[in-house]
Chains A and B, each alone.
Chain A
Amino acid sequence: MKKSIAMVLAGVMALSMTACGGGGNTTTAAAGGSGTAAGSTAAAGGSEASGSGENSDRALYVEISSDPGDLTPFGNNGTNPVRIKGQIYERLYEYGYNYEVTPILAESWEQKDSTHWVFHLKEGVKFSNGNDFTASDMLFSMNLCKDGTVMSKKYVEFVDFENTKIIDDHTVEVALTSPDAFFFSGFCGVYMVDEESYNASGDGLASEPIGTGPYKFVEWTTGSSVKLTANENWWGGDVKIKDVVFKVITESSQRSIELETGGVDLVLDLGMADYDRLNESSDYSVLVNDTFRTSSIYFNCSEHSACNSKELRQAIAYAIDANGILTGAYSNFGSIAKSFCNEKMLDYNEAWAANDYYTQNLEKAKELLAASGYDAAKPLSIIVSDDPLQNTMAEIIQAYLSQLGITAEITSYESAVYNNAIDDEAGGWDISFVTLTAPSCQILDICNAFFAEDGINRSCFQNAEFNTLVKKAVVEPDEKVRAEQIDQLVAIVTEDVPAYMMVQTADLYAYNNDLVGFQVWNQTNFQAKDLSFK
């Protein structure tokens, strides 16, 4: 028996020993240059590294909520892959801190006319493998976008490739097929890629991303972490933090705990429930950053829904108290929408907020309900995805509608089929949820993409004047005229309410107090090159 117990214990020990071996599918950058960096990162080793050694040797550990999945330049452009790719690749210019236009690889640019832009590239820029960055790389990158994903195609949607030409090694003239209101904001999505490395890689730089950015790729253990190290060829000089490790932490509550236990230095996806605890601590800083996203409801404006009636849509909007949504669902992080447009949008007009945007008014709601001729015997159908936030909001709206005598039934769909359910206008839904935003951060883009007849138009909104105006505004070269057109568009969607904007959302970030320089870059990103440890 003693022998058996000893055997079992020996087995446990053996398993424990194998357990110490780490594991995971590890993709490592090719030898040469990165070898030393890999060693130093490995030596840092998780939480034990934090707080030890000189600043430059201390690795920065950053939480990301999911595995990036794809590090090809124009593959998955979700929030987490872009947070990593944003350190490796660079663009000509970006909307950076405070969403201000920041030149990066473009020294300058000028718009020659409504369809021609000239970009002057920075000289002396090298990729992390030592290759020079030239105008031909820029053109190659634009072509990659054109042949890439749905999102990357939009970056160069109106580019006239036949007439786009290289002037010299550091100057490119980009021609457009027609004037485009979204060209400048869209074009900044193009990462600059080394043509030679891309063609030689065989997998579209998936296993070894090479860019001009301040960091270069070292190692990716799928589902676990991505390690980067300083790019010694970076044109901007030395960075203060040499190694950056992105740690995948899927469970929301674990992110703050990892920060508190020293497992990470920076949490990019802090849960609302953890805000108070970290905010009260003197060891951490918490940042609440207003976003460009607006939590909204779509009305099914098609003939298959009772919400086909404008008066009913208005009645529902007047019945809802956005403050209740902000408090009940968003724990007061964010702010209520004061117009159809998020206040942070680039083409936002403050005058819109001066008008009343469906402030809760039950009397008015009841009048509009009566005018709509809605048969209260037939319940309204609210559909939600499996997102808990949407479920909470649906329940709150259900309660508000009951004050009008409207019965609302909530049906939950798995997120994979939720969009399909909304696409089925005859599927029996009346109200659905959507978070409205646009990569260009323009309300015109939202009008064009989500409500115009040629766009996605999940609310089946039909308004001939609106459709004509959108088409005109998108190609209108004169900014003043375009602003007037946008003003009219906002007036139409405010009056017709194909969607009701409720809450302008906020993102929460938390970091160690010894981390200096953290700011939100662009919408949800950060720049490791600007960070340092005290």
Chain B
Amino acid sequence: MSRYIVKRLLMMIPVILGVTWFVFTLMYFTPGDPAQIILGADATEQEIQEKREELGLNGSYLERFGTYLKQVFVDGDLGTSYIYNNSIADEIAARFPNTFKIAAISVVLAVIIGLPLGVMAAVNQNTWKDNGSMFLALFGVSMPSFWFALMMVIVLSLHLKLLPATGLDSWKCYIMPCVSIAIGGAAGIARQTRSSMLEVIRQDYITTARAKGQTEFLVTYKHALRNALIPIITQVGNMLGIQLGGAIVAESIFSVPGLGTYMVSAIKNRDYPVVQGSVLVVAICFGLVMLLVDIVFAFADPRIRSQYQKKKKVAKEA
């Protein structure tokens, strides 16, 4: 297993290099001049040229890409923001915990809501419970998260005065952003769980488990759900990975200083180093989450675990 993890970590190196190249190239060819944006509409052509020189924007594509690669991978420096003139690494380090906390809580919440809902729908297929659950799931998937977030603010903050409308000053501040993200995710997980469970509950081993006199709860949650978990884990992993890239809508509405709003503002301002640095961090996070998902697969499914063990045995015998 450890060899597999190391192998996967090594595989991330070309992925990260690829992402770095891709984002750099994309930003290079995106119209819009950071120097013009920094200096504003009143700047003269000469001032803009001086600023471009200062920012190192007048070099060729290869020169600039080479400089950036050296800066990031040799010097270990993500650079300085064109607009705010502060360290990007520091800014990401400050914002990432906020994004991570919201992402993690949202995912846990989505699982807590979505998983039982999906299981209930599957084991009660074509009943009102199934239809009700799937209606809720469809509603959750279709509902725009910004609308739901604003509705929560109006009801829970403005009218009932139960929760703060913005910021991250206390634990109460996390409730609305997390719920607004979790609802959509929970709906997706519920639908995925139902579909996976429906495939599993008709298998012979489930009938066998029932024949052996196991309780319905054990049959459903121990035998059926465990075998249906693989696609659900993938979905949860994807959700976590995406949310780590920043829940832009929730961060904007609830004024959360996270990675998503940082990136969006950098894209608008053509703050190339910030966009490149942030995407790099997000790519690494996504890679690690996917690795985590693969490891969880092994714990959830003995067949996958045994594959790793077999490989180990074969290697030993050889």
Q: Residues of A with Cβ closer than 8 Å to B? A: 1, 8, 11-12, 15-20, 22-26, 45-47, 67, 69-70, 72, 75-76, 149-151, 154, 206, 221-225, 247-251, 253-254, 257-258, 260-261, 263, 414-417, 419-420, 449, 456
Contact = CB atoms under 8 A, between A and B. Distances in A.
B168 A24 contact: yes
A70 B150 CA distance: 30
Given A222-B91, A224-B255, A254 B165 contact: yes
A17 B170 CA distance: 10
Contacts, number: 154
A19 B104 CA distance: 10
Contact of A1 (B95, B222, B269): B222
A416 B161 contact: no
18 contacts: A8-B108, A19-B171, A23-B94, A24-B98, A24-B168, A45-B169, A46-B167, A151-B40, A154-B42, A221-B257, A222-B95, A225-B167, A254-B253, A261-B157, A261-B161, A263-B164, A416-B268, A419-B36
Contacts of A449: 42
Contacts of A419: 36, 41
B165 A261 contact: yes
B98 A23 contact: yes
Contact of A420 (B31, B157, B165): B31
A416 to B, nearest CB: 4
Interface stretch (B11-19, B80-88, B135-143): B80-88
B261 interface: yes
B36 A420 contact: yes
Nearest to A224: B257
Nearest to B153: A257
A263 B254 CA distance: 12
Contacts of B269: 416
Contacts of B101: 15, 18-19, 23
B213 to A, nearest CB: 17
B195 interface: no
B161 to A, nearest CB: 6
A67 to B, nearest CB: 8
Contact of B105 (A12, A225, A415): A12
A19 B273 CA distance: 29
A45 B109 CA distance: 27
A428 to B, nearest CB: 15
Contacts of B42: 150-151, 154, 449, 456
Contacts of A223: 95, 256-258, 261-262
Nearest to B262: A223
Given A12-B112, A24-B94, A449-B42, A417 B32 contact: yes
Interface in B266-314: 268-270
A450 to B, nearest CB: 9
Nearest to A435: B41
B123 interface: no
By Cβ-Cβ distance, the 10 closest A-B pairs, closest first, are A223-B257, A25-B94, A416-B32, A20-B171, A69-B84, A417-B32, A19-B174, A224-B257, A417-B31, A23-B97
A15 B94 CA distance: 17
Contacts of A250: 252, 255, 261
Interface string B31-45: 111001101111110
Given A1-B217, A15-B101, A416-B270, A263 B165 contact: yes
B156 to A, nearest CB: 10
B27 to A, nearest CB: 11
Query: What is the size category of the interface that chain B forms with chain A?
Result: 35 or more
A251 B255 contact: yes
A11 B97 contact: no
Contacts of B90: 25
Given A15-B101, A420-B31, A206 B85 contact: yes
A1 B226 CA distance: 11
A210 to B, nearest CB: 18
A17 B101 CA distance: 10
A252 to B, nearest CB: 10
Contact of B174 (A16, A254, A414, A415): A16
A46 B84 contact: no
Interface centre among B31, B169, B254, B261 (most CB of A within 10 A): B169
Interface in B30-77: 31-33, 36-37, 39-44, 47
Given A18-B101, A24-B95, A257-B157, 10 more contacts: A1-B218, A12-B105, A23-B257, A25-B93, A46-B164, A69-B84, A72-B85, A206-B85, A257-B153, A456-B44
A253 B33 CA distance: 31
Contacts of A221: 257
Nearest to B51: A150
Contact of A254 (B33, B93, B102, B153): B153
A449 B153 CA distance: 44
Nearest to A75: B85
B158 A15 contact: no
A224 B91 contact: no
Contacts of A18: 101
B205 interface: no
A16 B171 contact: yes
Interface in B137-185: 150, 153-154, 157-158, 161, 164-171, 174
B262 to A, nearest CB: 7
Interface string B232-263: 00000000000000000000111111100110
A222 B166 contact: no
Nearest to B105: A15
A11 B108 CA distance: 8
A158 to B, nearest CB: 16
B221 interface: yes
B270 to A, nearest CB: 5
Contacts of A67: 257
B268 A249 contact: no
A10 B104 CA distance: 13
Contact of A69 (B83, B105, B254, B261): B83
A247 B166 contact: yes
Nearest to B34: A416
Nearest to B221: A1
Contacts of A415: 268
Nearest to B31: A417
A416 B171 contact: no
A88 B32 CA distance: 34
Contacts of A1: 217-218, 221-222
B195 to A, nearest CB: 22
Contacts of B36: 419-420
Contacts of B86: 70, 206, 222
Contact of A24 (B47, B157, B257): B257
Contacts of A8: 108, 111-112
Given A20-B170, A206-B85, A25 B270 contact: no
A247 B93 contact: no
B105 A414 contact: no
